[in-house]
A and B are shown apart, each in its own frame.
Chain A
Amino acid sequence: MTQQDSGFVVNPVPRLPVCLCLDTSYSMRGQPIADLNRGLEIFFEQVLNDDKAAQTVELAIVTFGGQARLVADFAPIGSQTIPELTVEGGTPMGAAVKLALDQLALRKERYSNASLEYYQPWLVLMTDGEATDPTEASARRASQLVRDRKLTLMPIGIGPGAVLDGLRPFSPDFPPLPLDETKFAELFAWISKSVAQVSRSNPGEDVELSVDEMRKFLRIRA
C-alpha cells in the first residue's frame, strides 16, 4: 500500500543546493589537481553513502581556469558523473563566483516554481592563488547574501601560495580556511559530513560545523 492509498500525502524532499567553485588554473597543475579530483570522488562517495544527504543535496560545479565554466549543472548527486578536472590558464575568480551565484539564483527560482522547499544554499570557493580578474562586484554580492542569511559561503585557500586576503571580502562571517594542500580528502569528507548534517536539520535548528574536524585539514593549526 502506498502512502497515498493509506490516506497520507507524499511531499518532495527539501533540496540543498551546493555549488563547488574550484580553481583549475595552471598553478594547480600536478599533485594539487590530482588531489582535487580525488577529493571530488570522496565527496560524491560520502554523500551517496548517506541516504538523506543523497536525496537532499543537489550539486553544481563551476571551475575557473582560463575562464569561468559550469562543468556540472545542479542535479541530485546520484544522477551525476564525477567530472575529471584539468588545469588551464589564469584565475578568473570574480567571473566564476558571479557564474556560481547566478546558477544558485536560477536553481532557487526553479525550486520555487516547482513548490519545492530548500535549505540555505552552500557555495564552496577554493583557490590556490590570487584572482586575475576584478572580484569586487562578485565579492560584494556574495557577502551581502551571506549577511542576509541567504548563502553559506566557505572560502578555502589551497596551500602556502593562497592569498587569503583575496578571499576575505567574499565572506563577512566565515574567515578563509588555509587548506593543507595534501588534505583535500579530509576537506571533502568534512564538507560532505556538514551538508549531510544540514540535510537532517529541522526548522529552528542551526547546524554547527565541527571545528575539531576542520583542524584535520587546516595548514595553520587553530
Chain B
Amino acid sequence: MTSDSSAFARWQVAAVSLQGRGHQRDGTPCQDRLAVLRRRGVLAVAVADGASSARHAELGAEAVAAAICRRLTGRFETLFQADETRLAKLLWEPVLQALADLAVARSAHPSTFASTLLFVALSGDRYLAGNLGDGVVGWERDGQSETLFHPQKGEHHNETFFTTGRGARQRLELRRGSTDGLAAFCLMTDGAAEVMYQRANGALAPIFRRTAAELDDQTPSEVERSFGEQLRAATWAKTDDDCSIAFLRRVDLTGEQLRARSPEYQRAFLGCRSPLALRHRLHLLELLAEDGRSEPDLPELSRRTGLADSTLRSHLRALSDLVRRPAARAAAGSR
C-alpha cells in the first residue's frame, strides 16, 4: 500500500466549448478550438478563437492550438530558459508554419485562418503562459483569483488581434515563473469572458475558483457536463458568440486518498482508460513512492511489476507530468 506521507500532484483539465447562437442560426461550425497535450513531463493547454470574418477560422484555430501545444511540450526547458526575444520567436515559429501549411493545403490566403491564441504550459513547479487577442487567462494564487492576461482590444468592441495580423508576434504577451502558491488556471475566449470576466475591473467571476476546485473530487467529464450547462444558461441571452473555457486544477492526493476514489476518478487522474492499465499505474505509484529517488530504477520496477520494458516505459511516460512529493509538503520534484 502507498505510504500516506507520499503525495502526488497532477494538473487536471476540464474544458468546455459551446457553439454560439449566431453560428447555430447560420448553420456554421463553432470556430473555437481547444487543445490539451501531456508529453515529456509537460502539460500544455491552448484555446484559440477563430475570427468570425475569416473563412476557414476554425481550421486555423485548430492548427495553431495544436502547434503551440506541440512546441510547448517538445521544448519547454529551452523555452523557459530563453531570453524574451528568443522565447517569442521560438513560440511563434510553429504557429506561422501551421498557418503556412494550411494556406498551401487549402489554396487560401493565410488571413482566412485568423484566430486568437491563449495557452498555458506546466512542467514540474514551473509555468509558461501566453496570450494574443481578446481572450482572458486567470489563475488562483494563494487562495485569490487574479487575471494574468486581460483582453487585447482595439478601440471598438469588435476589434482585436489575430495570429495572422501584422505584428502578431510582437503583440504576444508572455509570462513564466514558479507555480508556488498556484492552485488553478483558466483560459477563456471572449464569448466565455462575457460572463466570466468583469470588464470594468478586470476581475474573474467567482465561479472560476469554485469550478476548478470541483476537479479535486469529480472527474473532468463530470465537471465539464455540469459547468457546460451553467455556461450555456448564463451566456444564452448575453452573447451570440462561441464560448470556450479550460480550467486547470492542481490536484494533490496522497496514495490513500487516490485509492479511496472511484475507478473513474482514478482513471482520469492517471490518464488511462482500461482497468488493467489503471491497476499497473496504481502499482507503479506505490513503488515510486517507496523508492523515493528522483529517477526511477527501471530494472527494479520491471522486476517488481512484471511489466515488459516497453510497457513500463509507456506507463512512466504517461505519468511523467505527475509531481511526486516524497514526504508531506517536501520540495516538489518533477519526473
Q: Complex formed: what's the CA distance from A21 to B14 in Å?
A: 51
Interface mask (B153-196 → A, CB under 8 Å = 1, otherwise 0)? 10111111010000000000000000000000000001100111
Q: Is B62 an interface residue (CB 8 A)?
A: no
Cβ–Cβ contact B205 & A9, under 8 A = yes
Cα of A198 to Cα of B158 in the assembled complex, Å: 9
Q: How far is the CA of A124 from the CA of B159 in the complex (A)?
A: 22
Q: Which residues of A contact B57 (CB under 8 A)?
A: 204
Q: Do the beta carbons of A150 and B158 come within 8 Å of each other?
A: no
Does B74 touch A at the CB level, under 8 Å?
no
What chain A residues lie within 8 Å of B156 (beta carbons)? 117-120
With beta carbons under 8 angstroms apart, the residue of B49, B157, B230, B240 that contacts A6 is B230
A212 within 8 A of partner (CB): no
Task: Return B208 CB to nearest CB of chain A, in Å.
Answer: 8
Q: Of the candidates B49, B54, B158, B199, which one forms a contact with A201 in the assembled complex, judged by CB atoms under 8 Å apart?
A: B158
Determine chain B's interface SS by DSSP, over half rule: loop
Q: A102 an interface residue at 8 Å Cβ cutoff? A: no
Question: How far, in whole Å, are A52 and B162 apart by their CA atoms in the complex?
Answer: 26
Are B234 and A3 in touch, CB under 8 angstroms?
yes
8 A Cβ contacts from A1-21 to B: 3, 6-12, 14
Q: B206 at interface (Cβ–Cβ under 8 A)?
A: yes
Say yes or no: is B22 at the interface (Cβ < 8 Å to chain A).
yes
- B53: chain A residues at CB < 8 Å are 204-206
Q: Which residues of B contact A201 (CB under 8 A)?
A: 52, 158
Chain A residue numbers with a CB within 8 Å of B22 are 200, 202
* Contact (Cβ within 8 A) A204 B54: yes
| Bound-state Cα–Cα, A8 to B191, Å | 13
A6 to B210, CA, bound (A): 11
Say how far B271's CB is from chain A's closest CB, in angstroms: 29
Give A120 to B22 CA distance when docked, in angstroms: 20
Q: Please tell me the size bucket of the interface on A.
A: 20 to 34
- Least CB separation from A208: chain B residue: B53
Q: Are B158 and A205 in contact (CB under 8 A)?
A: yes
A24 to B153, CA, bound (A): 39
- Chain A residues whose CB sits within 8 angstroms of the CB of B224 once the complex forms: none
The 8 A CB mask of A124-145 against B (1 = contact, 0 = none) is 0000000000000000000000
A115 near B: Cβ within 8 Å? yes
Task: Check B196 against A9 for contact (C-beta < 8 Å).
Answer: yes
- Chain A CB within 8 A of B24 CB: no
Q: Does A30 interact with chain B (Cβ within 8 Å)?
A: no
Contact present for B114 and A204 (CB under 8 Å): yes
* Minimum CB–CB distance for B214 against chain A, Å: 12
How many inter-chain residue pairs (CB < 8 Å) link A and B? 86
Separation of A204 and B157 alpha carbons in the complex (Å): 9
Partner of B190, one of A6, A7, A9, A202: A202
B58: CB under 8 A from chain A? no
At the interface, yes or no: B200 with Cβ under 8 Å from chain A? Answer: yes
Contacts of B54 in A (CB 8 A): 204
B residues less than 8 Å from A203 (CB atoms): 49, 51-52, 133-134, 153, 157-160, 190
Chain B: how many interface residues by the 8 Å CB criterion? 39
- Pairwise interchain contact B51-A205, C-beta atoms closer than 8 A: yes
Is A115 a contact of B207 with CB atoms below 8 Å? Answer: no
Tell me if B241 counts as interface (CB < 8 A to partner A). yes
CA distance A205 to B20 in the complex (A): 14
Q: Which residue of A lies closest to B208 (CB)?
A: A7
B269 near A: Cβ within 8 Å? no
A11 engages B198 (CB within 8 Å)? yes
Q: How far is the CB of A3 from chain B (nearest CB, A)?
A: 6
Contact of B149 with A by CB under 8 A: no
Asked if residues A117 and B51 are in contact (CB atoms below 8 Å), the reply is no
* Among A150, A201, A206, residue most surrounded by chain B Cβ atoms (within 10 Å): A201
Contact of B162 among A117, A119, A200, A204 (CB under 8 A): A204
In whole angstroms, what is the CA distance A201 to B157 when docked? 9
Closest to B135 in A: A203
Residues of B within 8 A of A120 (CB): 156, 158
B197 interface residue, CB < 8 Å from A? yes
When distances are taken between beta carbons in the complex, the residues of chain A under 8 Å from B20 are 202
Partner of B207, one of A7, A12, A198: A7
| Contact A204 to B198, CB < 8 A, known contacts A6-B230, A150-B155 | no
Question: What's the minimum C-beta distance from B260 to chain A, rounded to whole angstroms?
Answer: 28
Q: Which residues of A contact B195 (CB under 8 A)?
A: 3, 8-11
Task: Select one of A7, A200, A204 contacting B160, CB under 8 A.
Answer: A204
For the complex, give the distance between the alpha carbons of A10 and B235 in Å: 10
Bound-state CA distance A81–B244 (Å) is: 40
Cβ-defined contact, B200 with A115, below 8 A: yes
Smallest Cβ-Cβ distance to A120: which chain B residue: B156
| C-alpha spacing A125/B191, complex, angstroms | 34
Measured between beta carbons, the chain B residues less than 8 angstroms from A200 are 22, 240
Q: Please list 7 pairs of residues, one from A and one from B, whose beta carbons are closer than 8 Å in the complex, sorted by A's number.
A: A8-B195, A8-B230, A12-B199, A52-B240, A201-B158, A203-B158, A203-B159
Given A14-B157, A117-B199, A120-B156, 7 other A-B contacts at CB below 8 A?
A8-B205, A115-B200, A203-B133, A203-B160, A203-B190, A204-B51, A204-B162
